[in-house]
A and B are shown apart, each in its own frame.
Chain A
């Protein structure tokens, strides 16, 4: 309850700060909308030259892409700004002030900044997803829909955990740019259906660096028979990654030596 109250304060501060810089607020919304157009445009153009992609039709792929936009918008709204600043806090020693506060440091550094502009984009993403669902020729029920929402939230959590795993090495490496760029390059694998990955690459992207699980598995709820193994795979990997991240975070904090870290 205390954390919820604290989070509501974060929301209030974030909205009032965002509205102070209105041009910036507007630019960020436009930027994300261009990103959405490019992503949908990519598959729309690709499907001019192919009847299917890894067994998915165009309407199925568009549901997948719009699910990706949802995950991206949620991540941008809740976590992205915090993730951006974390390496700077560690490098400059600003983490000190977070460590001394009487709440979980991980909670504070992960959720303090709420991106109000991305929240607007989240509404656009929901609109695009709703449109994509109307194009789909499959019937689904309320259970499918609720399961989908749960899996999308799990996808957002997994995305956050993976990003943290790529940020935490900054405790030892001083500069995070290489790992950060590596993470964003890996991000392209989220934007593609998981069924295109075969052999060792599939194994890497669904177990070791499970980027391919973030969006593809939730989207499959709408046009594939629900499989328990798929759900167990997804939740199992998320739990393991969460434990790895927490262990890594604690080790990082032990290595932290303030401003010279």
Chain B
């Protein structure tokens, strides 16, 4: 491990925890709101159908789904929108051009620090919520599901970093790019199953969704935590991400190289 890696991680962690009131309001508030609203919505749907289970999900499991999906989204999205574009606009990337390290490598590390931190939060919440919504004793399957889910989320986060970098790097040419990252978030959330479990989508759409990286990023990790997906599905999701990753990596490198020639310091 390079000597600066731990220093970067520790600096980023200090930034995350700098505003503690914000941090806790954000974390607990958002989670409870999502939970209550999802529970209310699905209670109405279950009631309208007069059933206790839909597509293999009971109301409690559905609630757990809507607790996990936003937390997984947050983990996967790591550092917030603008993590690269902001530095392109204000000339902050000058330092990466003179530092003896690669800019994208450095930014991926700061991005992943956020992801790792949020992953710890996610697992803590899962342990508590799993007990509330499913009071049966914890089993080995719970832990293997969480472990596979966590691994897949980290891979998803690393893949998402490169997709988001492509959007952020448009800042070299355009005046505002946060809209691209927000578009990406909408599309990833919807097609990844964060808004609705993918089992509710029409069957004709499912083969297409499987080819995109979003299902492997959100739906499969949630299902692994819920015990609705097994090791084979985790492997299939990981392979989908690994198929996308090299293409996204090289595209980002190529775009960065082209942009570096175009870059003129402050005032982009």
List the interface of chain A (C-beta within 8 A of B): 21, 23-24, 27-28, 30-31, 34-35, 38, 41-42, 45-46, 48-54, 173-175, 177-179, 181-182, 185-186, 188-189, 192-193, 195-198, 201
Within 8 A of A (CB), among B183-241: 183, 186-187, 189-190, 195-196, 200-202
Is B200's CB under 8 angstroms from A49's CB? yes
A165 CA / B153 CA spacing, docked (Å): 36
A173 closest partner in B (C-beta): B21
Known contacts A181-B29, A182-B25, then 4 further A-B pairs from the complex at CB < 8 Å, ordered by chain A residue: A175-B22, A178-B24, A188-B37, A196-B40
Q: Which 9 A-B pairs have the closest CB atoms?
A: A178-B22, A178-B25, A27-B179, A24-B176, A196-B44, A185-B30, A31-B179, A182-B29, A185-B33
- Chain A residue numbers with a CB within 8 Å of B202 are 45, 48
- In the complex, the answer to whether B29 meets A48 with C-beta atoms within 8 Å is no
**CA–CA, A201 to B180, complex, Å?**
35
Roughly how many angstroms separate A177 CA and B182 CA in the complex, as a whole number? Answer: 17
Residues of chain B lying within 8 A (CB to CB) of residue A42 = 190, 195-196
**What distance in Å separates the Cβ of B15 from its nearest Cβ neighbour in chain A?**
12
| A200 CB, min distance to chain B CBs, angstroms | 10
CB distance from B154 to the nearest CB of A (A): 23
Q: How far is the CA of A34 from the CA of B37 in the complex (A)?
A: 23
Chain B interface (Cβ < 8 Å from any Cβ of A): 19, 21-26, 29-30, 33-34, 36-37, 40-41, 43-45, 48-49, 54-55, 174-177, 179-180, 182-183, 186-187, 189-190, 195-196, 200-202
Q: Are B29 and A45 in contact (CB under 8 A)?
A: no
Assembled-state Cα–Cα distance A46/B34 (Å): 18
Are B21 and A41 in contact, CB atoms less than 8 angstroms apart? Answer: no
User: Could you say which of B21, B45, B187, B200 contacts A178, with CB atoms under 8 Å apart?
Assistant: B21
Contact of A48 with B37 at beta-carbon distance under 8 Å, contacts A54-B44, A173-B21 already known: no
Q: Across the interface, which residues of A come within 8 angstroms of B200, CB to CB? A: 45-46, 48-49
B residues less than 8 Å from A38 (CB atoms): 186-187, 189-190, 195
Give the chain B neighbours of A21 by CB distance below 8 A. 175-176
| Bound Cα distance A34, B34 (Å) | 22
Partner of A177, one of B22, B48, B183: B22
A178 near B26 (CB under 8 angstroms)? yes
Kindly state the separation between the CA atoms of A53 and B19 in the bound complex, as whole angstroms. 40
CB-CB < 8 A to B41: which residues of A?
53, 192, 196
Alpha-carbon separation in the docked complex, A251 to B19 (Å): 23
**Which residue of chain A has the shortest Cβ distance to B49 in the bound complex?**
A50
What is the minimal beta-carbon distance from B70 to any residue of chain A, in angstroms?
9
Q: List 12 A-B contacts (CB under 8 A).
A: A21-B176, A24-B174, A38-B187, A49-B49, A53-B44, A177-B22, A181-B26, A181-B30, A182-B25, A182-B29, A186-B33, A189-B33
Do residues A185 and B29 form an inter-chain contact, with CB atoms below 8 A?
A: yes
Contact indicator A46/B45 (Cβ below 8 Å): yes
**Interface contact B175-A188, CB-CB below 8 Å:** no
Q: Give Cα A198–Cα B189 distance, bound, in whole angstroms.
A: 27
The complex places the Cα of A64 from the Cα of B170 at a distance, in Å, of 36
Q: Which residues of B contact A28 (CB under 8 A)?
A: 179
Chain A residues near B201 (CB-CB < 8 A): 45
CA distance A177 to B187 in the complex (A): 24
* Across-interface contacts of A196 in B (CB, < 8 A): 40-41, 43-44
Q: How far is the CA of A196 from the CA of B10 in the complex (A)?
A: 44
User: Which of B21, B37, B48, B183 counts the most A-chain CB atoms under 10 A from its CB?
Assistant: B37
The CA of A52 and the CA of B202, in the complex, are separated in Å by 18
List of B residues within 8 angstroms of A23 by Cβ: 174-175
